[in-house]
Amino acid sequence: MSKTVMITGASRGIGEAIARRFAAAGFDLVLTCLNNIDRMEEIAKELSNNHKVSVRCFKADMGDEASVADIFDRIDGVDVLINNAGISYVGLLQDMSGEEWRRVMATNLDSVFYTCRHAIKRMLYNHEGRIINISSMWGNVGASTEVAYSASKGGVNTFTKALAKELSPSNIQVNAIACGVIDTDMNSHLNKEEREALTEQIPAGRYGDPSEVAELAYMVATGPTYLTGQVITMDGGML
């Protein structure tokens, strides 16, 4: 019987790359996105045809508790959960509104709580499961003008470690991948000069590719069960 992976924020970038990697390995997919449902459904059709897997798509705000509950009411559960949905806010903290702060926290951190709470029900019944949270190196050290984003990802990192301890006796592994600078739309606000300056700070001399994050996510999802509670940093040697 094939296994099912849920990937949030799967319409582009890292989420899309992860969906492609798991579909190629024969996993059935449950994909979510907030805005680009047409694009995600195109990806779903392609992956279903090419890899003969089941792909279900849901347009939902993963930072909304009721929306997440509705998705889990409509599926049988998941064997692997990958929390990738995320947004950023770039700007000075004093210029950030309470609503903007709440939106970052809801999308990046609350969503992880909601999905994990539902996903672990089946995992506990099966006495196995994998949870992978896509985080950021800024959750480890913080980034100027990205205070809310850094705080939310720092929360994801400690959430990961704590939940891993809670679920380890039930053979459920929880890990996070703290990404460095990955070449996605999240960095589209940078101009050419800013991109070049940032590249110079990366020992690897380049941005990471979403497919590299996807490959690591697959390795963690299918690797030794003794690997749990880890925040694995993938940043090209930057930090």
Residues identified as active-site: 149
Place of tokens 């000069």: 193
Please give the Cα distance from 219 to 158 (Å, whole number).
Answer: 21
Please give the Cα distance from 11 to 185 (Å, whole number).
Answer: 12
Please give the Cα distance from 84 to 86 (Å, whole number).
Answer: 6
Contact 14, 179 (CB under 8 A): yes
Please give the Cα distance from 55 to 53 (Å, whole number).
Answer: 6
Instruction: Please report, for residues 62, 112, 115, 126, 165, the alpha-carbon distance to residue 73 in angstroms, rounded to integers and kept in the order given.
Output: 14, 17, 12, 18, 27
Q: Parallel, antiparallel, or unpaired: how do β-strands 172-179 and 129-136 relate?
A: parallel
Contact 232, 218 (CB under 8 A): no
